[in-house]
């Protein structure tokens, strides 16, 4: 044996210790090591296109307008993708995350109710937990060091997200704008990065509150859904205004911090100058500003230095005269100094901003509320949405530049939020627009789909060896008619008294069922609800069957079926996270959806009415009506694919076993 | 008196800018942290020498000896309350005395230091406009009864994004421009038939950037010394370009000065024994 091949005593001991350690760590470690070696250099890219509809996609592919997707379809890499029940984005993306249905992750709607308080409503995906250990000083409460815990926001989604398995196997994963993951879940092994998407609040703690200043605005300021309006009064062409900022939770009676600013205008030049936070912003009529950083000062007791919270806004000068109008975007968290954790690891937000500058951090980025509330017209909404897409494409470029191997996930919201406002089932009348207008704006949406095709083509070109999966969480349908579930329950004697206006004021001694959220129907169950009256077991079963039969039999004035299918969750869902599950999921037929009143538990005047909102399309129907899409640059198995199949597919691509908690199976 | 003082400062600033242009031209070709370090080190040594020759070194030496004696007394007689308090009093008196001895050197150095800092701020505080970047340009006018007519005649290197706007309460005209070509230019304005200029810099790296061409105002003259200020009688009382702040440990509004004073103090402390200076 030559000298250099001989094993020294030190080397022998080192190898023995390593082998012993591997044996003691068990087969799990070995399996991970095997998976890691198999996955080394492997690239999987998942592009999440929210709301991409199969019918429209197929039409555009047939017309030759989406050549990349058409090519994948020809190669067997396209299927309609089964969505979640109900097909709401937070539910659907949680299905994608867990590879399993709502029974595993516990998200059944945008909002839930706590039966202990009968109908205490809360946001389903995240919860802010009040802190403890405070010292009251005048109007302030101060957190005592080392005692109690500070207030924090917790992720409510349950179960194990599929990236945890990648993380444990030392396979890198990075997610940009992932829905249903705020605050971002922790990475145990440091191989996972995530920027939270839908569900991330703005600095006011809402899901996007614009502020709107006009000379004919209300006095005092008026709050509307997703916005706040102010009156602006000019003196010598200058007006003083205030901008509402973050909540000062250090006060015993928390209130929003405010920032004063001035607006100067030149009517002849059609321009305005905004003086805010030591900065000047000069805008022409119809022009958007860049991101403007703002430091909100939170009042503290006199003996403490004042605290500051950083935010960013964009101004849009709508009109200089005759009536001055100024739109201010929701106050987003400044990613260079986020007030709350929006990324995992926390410094990820800042490292993106270092290269790209400030960017949208709220979950909902397109200004759909401004269009719904008639602050914007369609073209203004499209212009704002185009800014969002431009920013997203810069982020995608950053993501691709910084990607070597492992999993890369990137999310586009444009198709969903623009879909809600601009969609049109063109074989039908549009609920709120003339045919010409509907056609014009629907063409914009079609172009957006075609743009997605180009984006995916570019990704495949840049990463020819990667498995590229493009998928959507659901499709789209016209929202022409709204069904008021609570009004129907009231009229049919399930919800009382006969003049009840909201489930918040129902007579629970005589109420057997109520609706909350977009698709949820709850039975007032004894032992579960605070004032429950329906006995669980046979009585409840009978009631559920009765409700299903009656709801599915409802016909509109033209004889059209309103509700396609009502699903019993105890028979449909599997898993341990059923605490807040509704008893029934109401799945609407195409063209129908729950009324705006129903979502918040209110009873409208009519059971069925026209939807006159600019929000003219939706997907919160029956799951069979609005499937999503899945495209892959590898052939997809011919079985019906579903959202829960994507996570197992990704794990299999990296050579990992599909855990028993997942309901789906690999499709590639 | 105020007019004389303003005129004097205008002359000093102009002279300092002429000297600064010759002395600091090399800053453009070396990294910012390096030029800042070199200038700060030299300044530290020069300040030390100025201190040596303008202060009463013998008296400072005596005060230092007294301070040492008091500290020794504090250590030796810590059981004696009387000595402790007396020594503490002596220490405070010594510190006050040192401060008084520093007044004369400070008086000598304050003017050149302010002028030097003004010149360095032109390099380190702001950066030129990058290609594609937008900036607000404003022309501040005298508060006269008749609003003067101001037009932007020539703006090479930039394109106008938002044309002239008049904001009454600000008493100023505003434009927004976007940088297109790198270089140093003169923006030309027509003010009631007279031509008025303001320097504009577009490009990358370190360049001398004057945010505002000052009016007849002492503090503005000292803060923005890169161009000749407007006369008291001028209709225009300031032209500003909103340049972005420079970033980095030796740049930006604040950090370049922290770096500068930190390095100059270290340099002074290092060279103190070499030149035998008592501080």
pLDDT digits 0-9 by tens, A171-191: 999 999 999 999 999 999 999
User: Which helix (DSSP H) or strand (DSSP E) does residue A2 occupy?
Assistant: none
Answer for the pair B93, B117: CB distance below 8 angstroms, yes or no: no
Q: With a cut of 50, say whether residue A617 has pLDDT above it.
A: yes
d(CA A207, CA B215): 47
Q: With a cut of 80, say whether residue A348 has pLDDT above it.
A: yes
**Mutating which of A269, A274, A290 best tests the B interface, going by the most B Cβ atoms within 10 A?**
A269
| CB within 8 Å of A153: residues ≥ 6 apart | A126, A127, A128, A129, A182, A183, A340
d(CA A527, CA B152): 78
Nearest to A548 by CA among A585, A580, A496: A585
Ramachandran region of residue B215, left (φ > 0), alpha (ψ -120 to 50) or beta?
Answer: beta
pLDDT of residue A31: 56
pLDDT of residue A491: 96
Q: How far is A265 from chain B (nearest CA, A)?
A: 6
A265 in contact with chain B, both atoms CB, cutoff 8 A: yes
Q: With an 8 Å Cβ cutoff, are A282 and B162 in contact?
A: yes
Torsion B220-B222-B223-B229 (CA) sign? positive
pLDDT of residue A37: 64
Average pLDDT over residues A123-137: 84
| DSSP β-ladder status, A271-276 and A292-298 | unpaired
Please give the C-alpha separations between residue A59 and each of A55, A66, A394, A429, A652, in angstroms, as whole numbers: 6, 9, 29, 19, 32
Can you read off the two tokens belonging to residue A240?
A: 């003083």
Return the higher-pLDDT residue of A305 and A528.
A528
Average pLDDT over residues A303-320: 94
Q: With an 8 Å Cβ cutoff, are A264 and B167 in contact?
A: yes
User: Which helix (DSSP H) or strand (DSSP E) does residue A570 occupy?
Assistant: helix A569-572
Which stretches of chain B score pLDDT less than 70? 249-253
Return the higher-pLDDT residue of A437 and A28.
A437
Q: Round the average pLDDT of chain A to a whole number and report it.
A: 93
Q: With an 8 Å Cβ cutoff, are A282 and B174 in contact?
A: yes
pLDDT of residue A154: 92
Other Cβ atoms within 10 Å of A46 Cβ, number: 23
| CB within 8 Å of A532: residues ≥ 6 apart | A115, A508, A524, A525, A526
In the block, which residue shows the tokens 């202060």? Answer: B55
Answer for the pair B141, B237: CB distance below 8 angstroms, yes or no: yes
pLDDT class for A227, splitting at 50, 70, 90? very high
pLDDT of residue B251: 62
Q: How far is B135 from chain A (nearest CA, A)?
A: 9
Can you read off the two tokens belonging to residue A508?
A: 């629970």
Average pLDDT over residues A319-333: 97
d(CA A480, CA A487): 18
Other Cβ atoms within 10 Å of A337 Cβ, number: 16
Torsion B214-B220-B224-B225 (CA) sign? positive
Average pLDDT over residues A266-272: 97
Q: How far is B169 from chain A (nearest CA, A)?
A: 7
d(CA A376, CA A395): 26
pLDDT of residue B247: 82
A271 in contact with chain B, both atoms CB, cutoff 8 A: yes
In the block, which residue shows the tokens 């403490």? Answer: A304
pLDDT of residue A4: 41
Can you read off the two tokens belonging to residue A454?
A: 């180009």
Answer for the pair A178, A196: CB distance below 8 angstroms, yes or no: yes
In the block, which residue shows the tokens 């070396």? Answer: B30
Q: With a cut of 70, say whether residue A11 has pLDDT above it.
A: no
In chain A, % helix, strand, coil (3-state, to 5) comes to 30, 30, 45
Cis amide bond preceding A249, omega within 30: no
Average pLDDT over residues A473-497: 97
pLDDT class for A22, splitting at 50, 70, 90? very low
What pTM was computed for the model? 0.89
Q: With a cut of 70, say whether residue A35 has pLDDT above it.
A: no
Can you read off the two tokens belonging to residue B237?
A: 């009382």
pLDDT of residue B253: 63
Query: Percent of chain A having pLDDT more than 70?
Result: 94
Please give the C-alpha separations between residue B56 and each of A501, A525, B51, B92, B98, in angstroms, as whole numbers: 89, 93, 9, 19, 10
pLDDT of residue A139: 87
Q: Which of A273, A283, A290 sits opposite B167 (nearest CB)?
A: A273
Which residues of chain A lie closer than 8 angstroms to B244, CB-CB? none
The SS3 of residue A53 is coil
Q: Which of B161, B167, B242 sits opposite A266 (nearest CB)?
A: B167
The full set of domain ranges for chain B reads 31-126+251-275, 133-242
Answer for the pair A565, A624: CB distance below 8 angstroms, yes or no: yes
Q: With a cut of 80, say whether residue A32 has pLDDT above it.
A: no
pLDDT class for A301, splitting at 50, 70, 90? confident
pLDDT class for A386, splitting at 50, 70, 90? very high
Q: With a cut of 70, say whether residue A590 has pLDDT above it.
A: yes
Q: Which of A238, A264, A271 sits opposite B162 (nearest CB)?
A: A271
């Amino acid at each position: 044996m030559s000298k250099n091949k001989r094993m020294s005593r030190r080397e022998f001991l080192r190898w023995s210790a390593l082998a012993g350690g591997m044996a003691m760590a068990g087969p799990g470690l070995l399996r991970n090591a095997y998976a890691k070696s198999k996955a080394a250099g492997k690239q999987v890219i998942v592009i999440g296109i929210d709301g991409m509809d199969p019918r429209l996609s197929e039409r555009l592919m047939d017309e030759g307008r989406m050549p990349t997707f058409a090519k994948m379809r020809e190669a067997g890499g396209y299927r309609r993708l089964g969505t979640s029940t109900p097909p709401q984005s937070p539910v659907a993306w949680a299905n994608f995350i867990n590879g399993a249905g709502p029974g595993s992750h516990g998200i059944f709607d945008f909002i839930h109710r706590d039966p202990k308080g009968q109908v205490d409503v809360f946001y389903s995906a995240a919860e802010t937990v009040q802190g403890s250990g405070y010292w009251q000083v005048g109007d302030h409460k101060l957190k005592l060091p080392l005692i109690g815990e500070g207030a924090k926001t917790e992720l409510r989604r349950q179960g194990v997200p599929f990236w945890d398995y990648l993380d444990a196997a030392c396979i890198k994963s990075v997610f940009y704008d992932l829905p249903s993951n705020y605050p971002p879940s922790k990475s145990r092994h440091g191989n996972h990065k995530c920027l939270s998407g839908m569900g991330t609040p703005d600095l006011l703690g809402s899901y996007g509150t614009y502020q709107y200043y006009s000379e004919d605005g209300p006095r005092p300021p008026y709050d509307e859904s997703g916005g706040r309006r102010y009156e602006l009064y000019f003196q010598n062409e200058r007006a003083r205004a205030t901008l509402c900022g973050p909540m000062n939770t250090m006060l015993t009676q928390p209130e929003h911090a405010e920032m004063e600013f001035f607006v100067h205008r030149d009517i002849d030049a059609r321009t305005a100058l905004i003086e805010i936070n030591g900065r000047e912003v000069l805008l022409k009529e119809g022009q958007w500003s860049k991101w403007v950083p703002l430091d909100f000062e939170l009042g503290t007791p006199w003996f403490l230095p004042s605290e500051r919270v950083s935010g960013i806004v964009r101004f849009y000068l709508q009109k200089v005269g005759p009536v001055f109008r100024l739109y201010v975007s929701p106050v987003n968290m400044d990613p260079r100094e986020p007030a709350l954790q929006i990324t995992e690891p926390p410094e990820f937000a800042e490292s993106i901003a270092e290269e790209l500058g400030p960017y949208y951090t709220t979950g909902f980025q397109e200004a759909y509320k401004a269009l719904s509330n008639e602050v914007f017209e369609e073209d203004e909404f499209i212009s704002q949405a185009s800014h969002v897409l431009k920013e997203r494409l810069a982020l995608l470029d950053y993501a691709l530049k910084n990607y070597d191997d492992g999993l890369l996930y990137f999310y586009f919201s444009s198709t969903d939020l623009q879909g809600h406002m601009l969609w049109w089932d063109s074989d039908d009348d549009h609920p709120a627009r003339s045919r010409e207008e509907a056609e014009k704006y629907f063409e914009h949406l079609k172009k957006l789909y075609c743009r997605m095709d180009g984006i995916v083509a570019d990704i495949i070109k840049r990463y020819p060896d990667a498995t590229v999966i493009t998928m959507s969480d659901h499709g789209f349908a016209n929202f022409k008619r709204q069904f008021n579930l609570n009004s129907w329950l009231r009229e049919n004697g399930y919800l009382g008294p006969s003049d009840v206006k909201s489930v918040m004021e129902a007579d629970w001694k005589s109420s057997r069922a109520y609706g909350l959220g977009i698709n949820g129907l709850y039975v007032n169950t004894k032992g579960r609800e605070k004032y429950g009256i329906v006995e669980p077991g046979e009585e409840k079963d009978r009631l559920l069957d009765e409700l299903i039969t009656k709801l599915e039999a409802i016909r509109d004035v033209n004889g059209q079926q309103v509700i396609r299918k009502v699903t019993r969750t105890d028979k449909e869902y599997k898993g341990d996270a059923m605490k807040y599950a509704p008893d029934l999921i109401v799945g609407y037929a195409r063209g129908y959806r729950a009324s705006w009143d129903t979502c918040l538990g209110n009873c409208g005047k009519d059971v069925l009415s026209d939807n006159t909102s600019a929000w003219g399309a939706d997907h919160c129907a029956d799951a069979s009506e609005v499937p999503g899409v899945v495209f892959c640059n590898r052939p997809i198995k011919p079985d019906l694919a579903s959202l829960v199949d994507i996570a197992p597919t990704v794990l299999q691509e990296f050579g990992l076993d599909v855990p028993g908690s997942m309901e789906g199976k690999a499709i590639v | 008196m105020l007019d004389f003082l303003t005129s004097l400062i205008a002359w000093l600033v102009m002279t300092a800018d002429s000297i600064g242009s010759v002395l600091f031209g090399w800053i453009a070709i070396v990294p910012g942290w390096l030029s800042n370090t070199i200038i700060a080190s030299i300044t530290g040594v020069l300040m030390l020498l100025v201190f040596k020759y303008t202060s009463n070194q013998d008296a400072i030496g005596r005060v230092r000896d007294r301070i040492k004696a008091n500290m020794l007394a504090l250590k030796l007689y810590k059981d004696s309350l009387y000595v402790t308090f007396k020594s503490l009093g002596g220490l405070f008196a010594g510190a006050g005395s040192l401060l008084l001895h520093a007044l004369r050197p400070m008086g000598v150095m304050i003017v050149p230091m302010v002028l030097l800092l003004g010149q360095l701020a032109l390099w380190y505080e702001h950066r030129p406009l990058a290609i594609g970047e937008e900036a607000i340009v404003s022309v501040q006018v005298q508060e006269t009864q008749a609003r003067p007519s101001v037009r932007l005649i020539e703006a090479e290197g930039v394109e106008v994004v938002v044309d002239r706007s008049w904001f009454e309460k600000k008493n100023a005209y505003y434009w927004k421009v976007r940088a297109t070509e790198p270089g140093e230019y003169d923006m030309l304005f027509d003010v009631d038939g007279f031509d008025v200029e303001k320097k504009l810099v577009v490009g990358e790296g370190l360049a001398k950037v004057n945010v505002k061409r000052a009016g007849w105002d002492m503090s503005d003259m000292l803060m923005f010394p890169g161009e000749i200020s407007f006369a008291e009688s001028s209709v225009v009382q300031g032209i500003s370009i909103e340049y972005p702040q420079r970033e980095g440990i030796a740049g930006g509004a604040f950090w370049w000065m922290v770096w500068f004073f930190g390095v100059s103090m270290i340099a002074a402390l290092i060279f103190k024994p070499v030149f035998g200076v008592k501080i």
